[in-house]
A = this chain, B = another copy of it.
Amino acid sequence: MITLKQAKTIIEAAEAKATSIGQPMNIAVADEGGNLIAHVRMDGAWIGSIDISIKKAYTSRAFDISTKDLAEHSQSGGQFFGIHASNNGKIMVFAGGIPLRHAGKVVGAIGVSGGNAPQDGQTAGAAGTRKSYWEQP
Query: A32 to chain B: closest CB distance in Å?
Result: 6
Bound-state Cα–Cα, A81 to B92, Å: 9
Interface string of A23-64 (1 = CB under 8 A from B): 000000001111111111111001111111001001101111
Query: Are B34 and A33 in touch, CB under 8 angstroms?
Result: yes
Query: A75 to chain B: closest CB distance in Å?
Result: 5
**Which residue of chain B has its CB nearest to the CB of A114?**
B63
Residues of chain B lying within 8 A (CB to CB) of residue A95 = 79
Query: Are A86 and B87 in touch, CB under 8 angstroms?
Result: no
Residues of chain B lying within 8 A (CB to CB) of residue A34 = 33, 35, 47-48
Query: Are B87 and A92 in touch, CB under 8 angstroms?
Result: no
**Beyond A79-B95, A80-B117, A83-B94, 7 extra complex contacts between A and B, CB < 8 Å:** A4-B42, A34-B48, A51-B87, A52-B83, A52-B86, A82-B91, A82-B92
Query: Are B36 and A37 in touch, CB under 8 angstroms?
Result: no
Q: Which of B33, B46, B59, B74 contacts A32 (CB 8 A)?
A: B33
Query: Are A47 and B61 in touch, CB under 8 angstroms?
Result: yes
Residues of chain B lying within 8 A (CB to CB) of residue A89 = 85-86, 88-89
Does A84 reach chain B (CB closer than 8 Å)?
yes
**Which residue of chain B has its CB nearest to the CB of A117?**
B79
